[in-house]
Amino acid sequence: MNDVLALLRPDLRDFAGYASARRAQAAGTVWLNANESPSPSLADGGLSLNRYPEPQPSALRERMAWLYGVRAEQLMVTRGSDEGIDLLVRAFCRAGVDAVLIAPPCFGMYAVCARVQNAPLVEVPLEETDGTWSLDLPGVIAAVAGRKVRIVFLCSPANPTGQALSLAQVRGLADALQGRAILVVDEAYAEYSSVASASRLLADFPGLVVLRTLSKAHALAGARVGALLAGAALISVLRNLSAPYPVPAPSAALALAALSDAGIDQSRRRCQLAVDERGALRRELTQVAGVRRVYASEGNYLLARFADAQAAFERLLAAGVVVRDMRAMAGLQDALRISIGSAEENRALLSALQQVPA
């Protein structure tokens, strides 16, 4: 058995999933197999919404595979990255037995999905030295060996701390975890980073999974379209566990339009603008009274520590500027996360922070 498939929950190894009408791949002109309406709604807009969509829209899957440099059989279209996280936890973790490892502070959905599945949560906190965050690689490897860890979730670039894993780090960790745990690298912010994607290593490590999304760089957060990249065998298993029709036809159409040549060029310009604004905003923030530290970032956000984070947060809200309060996370009791906005939005943020409290 493939080493990766051997890590699956035993009760799911032969699970075929729901055989929906569209998975049958039958050809015809009169469709009477799915209890659909024979005529479209007035709101249809030419999308044939009276019919169920392809479970994995072929044109979109091919385009996303091209975008991420993988084969179509190595990609599953998902409802954002969240669906991929949830499917992986359900596929590999027996409730109360197989653990999920995270490196906090990090994206909260890993812990949420573990909790829903009743999978034990193992934490190997990030290390901060002289204003730089880093992953405790030996600690991760040791925890996998000793705590029945089945999945390791890592962000790169990390949310909210901003650092990215090098390919050498991913390679070393993937090698150490082979046959013992799945390594999932969440690259939701990869387009803003100077570090190469871990998808380059998929051919070498069957236990490596990469998550991508169109929510950020491609400005489709409301469409909920992402991708899970992995070996073809694992993709087949996860498709059996997913909902019968996970990708709504309007979302697939919007995503395909956004991934046209012109759309991709626009996304690249958008990302470069965000990177430029990120650098400028970080420089300006470091000069604001009450800002203790602004961390370097490879994402479209900055993590900042404040002498009085509550006062800063309230001052921003009073000016209509909403940032993410990170103070509930361990080690970030004085921190706010600031998404990179337009130049005008960033000026509004700085202006609010520079206001002297009454």
- CB neighbour list of residue 245: distance below 8 Å, 6 or more residues apart: 20, 22, 52, 53, 55
Domain end among 259, 276, 296 = 259
Q: What is the phi/psi pair of residue 11, to 5°?
A: -75, -5
pLDDT in tens, 50-62: 999 999 999 999 9
pLDDT in tens, 264-311: 999 999 999 999 999 999 999 999 999 999 999 999 999 999 999 999
Q: What is the pLDDT of residue 236?
A: 93
Mean pLDDT of 145-158: 96
Q: What is the mean pLDDT of residues 330-352?
A: 97
The reply to whether 107 and 178 lie within a common domain is yes
- The pLDDT > 70 percentage for the chain reads 98
Instruction: Note the pLDDT of residue 17.
Output: 78
Same domain, 28 and 177: yes
Q: Which of 278-282, 323-327, 353-357 has the weakest average pLDDT?
A: 353-357
pLDDT at 358 over 70: no
Q: Is the pLDDT of residue 24 over 80?
A: no
pLDDT grade for 31, boundaries at 50, 70 and 90: confident
Same domain, 90 and 217: yes
Distance CA 356, CA 152 (A): 45
269 and 234, same domain (yes or no): no
Q: Show the domain range for 288.
A: 263-354
Q: Using the 3D structure, point to which of 259, 282, 307 is the last residue of a domain.
A: 259
State whether 136 and 227 are in the same domain.
Answer: yes
pLDDT at 2: 64
CATH number for the domain harbouring residue 26 = 3.40.640.10
CATH of residue 294: 3.90.1150.10
Residues 170 and 301 in one domain: no
Quick one: what percent of the chain has pLDDT higher than 90? 89
Report the domain count for the chain. Answer: 2
Out of 259, 288, 321, a domain closes at 259
Q: What is the pTM of this model?
A: 0.94
Are both 251 and 306 inside the same structural domain? Answer: no
Q: Is residue 285 domain-shared with residue 333, that is, in the same domain?
A: yes
pLDDT tens-digit readout, 153-207: 999 999 999 999 999 999 999 999 999 999 999 999 999 999 999 999 999 999 9
